[in-house]
Chain A
C-alpha cells in the first residue's frame, strides 16, 4: 500500500465515522433519546433489579401455574416450528434453483417466503388477533407464518449446497424426480435443516413470550399480568423460568448439533 492509497483510506475512514456520528445524532433527535440520561439510569436500573427482582418463598407458590403456562409456550413454539418446517421443506424444494420444477413455482415460493418473513411476527399476531381472539392458536399461527418465511430461506440455502453431482447420477440411473429429492437431496441437507429447526425453536420461545404479551396467552400473558400488578417477585420468577428453559433447550440442541453436523 503506497502513501497515496493510505491517505485515501484515512479520508474514507474519517468520512465514514462522521457519517455514523451524524446518523446517531439524527436518530437520537428523532427518538428524543438522551444518551447522558440513559447512561445515568443504568446503575439505578441495576440496583432496582437487584433489590426488587427477587424470588421469594411466597412467589414460589405460584410456580406450578407458571410452569403450566411456560409449558404451553414451549409447546406452542415447538409445534409452530415443526409444522412450519414441513411447509418450508416443500417451498424450499420448489424455490431452490437445483430442484425447482419450473420458474413460476420457484418465484411463487420465494415470494411467499419473503412476504411472510419480512412482516414482523408482532404484525402477524396483531392481524390474527382481530379474528382469532385471545388464545393459543393466534400465537401459534403468528409464529408459524413468520417461521415459514425464515426457514424457507434457510432451507433453500441448504438444498442449494447439496452435492449437485449425486442428483445427476440418480437421474442417469432412471430415477424419478421424487426419488432424487428423497434419496439424494434430503439425506444431504437434513442435518443442516435440523440444525436450523432447533435454532428456530430457541428463537420462537423468546418470540412466543412477546406474542403472548400481545395475544394474552402463555407465559407472556403471566408476565404482563404481574408486571402491571407490580408483583415484581413473580416477574422475577417468570423471567428466571424462561432463562432456564431457553438455556436448557440451547444446551440440548448444541449437543444434537455436535453429533449430526
Chain B
C-alpha cells in the first residue's frame, strides 16, 4: 500500500462555504428531505387555520383527565342491561360480517378483472380507476347517501360499508392473483383450458389462503367502521349506544363500559389477524 501524498480535488465535492460535502445529493435524499420540510411547514401552518371556538385548553385537559379516570376506573351500565350490551355488540359485529362477506364475494370477481395476468389492459385499468374513485369517498358519506334511498338502518349501513370493503379487497386480491406463478397459468392454457378453468383450477387453489386472510384483515377494519357508522350515521349497534351515552346522557361510566367492550373485541380481532399475517404473509406484505 503506497502512501498517497495528494488528494485528487476532482473527486471531492465541496459545499459553497468550501467545506467537504459528505451527502450524496441524489434525488432520493432530496425528496425525503423536501417531504419532511413540507410536512413540517404545513403542520405549523395548520394551527393558524384551526377553529378554536369555545376552547379553554387548560380546563379541557384537566376535565378530560378526570373523565378518562371515571370512564376507565368506574365503568358501569345504567341505560341498558348486560344482555342488551351483548346484543348491541352482536349487531356491530353482524354489520361488519355482512359488509365483509358480501364485499369479498364482489371483490373476488372485480379482482379477476383487475389482475393484469388474467384480464385485458383496458378492463383492468377501468376497474382500478373506479376502485380509486370509490376509495376516495369516506365510508360515512356512502352510508349517509344510501340512507336517503334505503332509509336509515342496517341495509344502508351494509351497502355503504360494502363500497370500501370492495375497494380494499379488490386491491389486495388482484395483487395476490398477480403473484400466481405464471407457469401454472401457462400450463393450463397449453392444455386448452377455458378462462374459468384456469381461475378455478390454477389461480384459486394457490391463492385461497391469502384471500381468506385478507378478508379477515378487512373484517378487523370493518368492525371499527361499524362502530363509527353506528355513532355517525345511526346504523345502530354498540356505536350508537356510545353516541347516546356520550352525547345525550353524558354518562361517563357507561361510555367507559362501552369503550371497554369495543377495546376487548378489537384486541381479540387484532391478535387473530397478527397470527394470520405471521403465518401466511411474507414480511413484505402488510396491512393497508
Contacts and interface: CB of A to CB of B under 8 A. Distances in A.
Interface of A: 20, 23-24, 26-28, 30-34, 37-38, 41-42, 44-45, 48-49, 53, 71-72, 75-76, 78-79, 82-83, 114-115, 117-123, 126-137, 140, 154, 157, 161, 190-191, 194, 197-199, 206-207, 209-210, 213-214, 217-218, 220, 223, 227, 235, 239, 242-243, 246-247, 250, 256, 259-260
Given A194-B35, A207-B138, A242-B136, 4 more contacts: A33-B155, A41-B149, A114-B267, A137-B52
Main secondary structure of the interface of A (DSSP, over half): helix
Contacts of A120: 224, 227-228, 262, 266
B97 A260 contact: no
Interface residues of B, number: 83
B242 A122 contact: yes
A46 to B, nearest CB: 8
B45 A75 contact: yes
B75 interface: no
A33 B94 contact: yes
Contact of B155 (A37, A115, A157, A223): A37
Nearest to B260: A119
Interface string B86-126: 01001101110110010000000000000000000000000
Contact of A227 (B47, B93, B144, B159): B144
Contact of A250 (B27, B43, B136): B136
B228 A210 contact: yes
Interface in B18-59: 27-28, 31-32, 35-36, 39-40, 42-43, 45-47, 49-55, 57, 59
B253 to A, nearest CB: 13
B139 A126 contact: no
A176 B242 CA distance: 48
Contact of A31 (B54, B154, B258): B154
Contact of B40 (A30, A82, A132, A256): A82
Contact of B136 (A24, A30, A130, A247): A247
Nearest to A43: B149
B246 A75 contact: no
Main secondary structure of the interface of B (DSSP, over half): helix
Contacts of A83: 43
Nearest to B97: A27
Nearest to B205: A9
A49 B163 CA distance: 15
Interface string B140-158: 1100111011100111001
Nearest to B150: A41
B225 to A, nearest CB: 8
Which 10 interchain pairs have the tightest Cβ spacing? A131-B63, A27-B94, A45-B149, A75-B46, A79-B46, A118-B266, A136-B50, A246-B136, A120-B224, A41-B150
Contacts of B98: 24, 27-28, 31, 33
A45 B163 CA distance: 13
Contacts of B138: 206-207, 209-210, 242
A132 B50 CA distance: 14
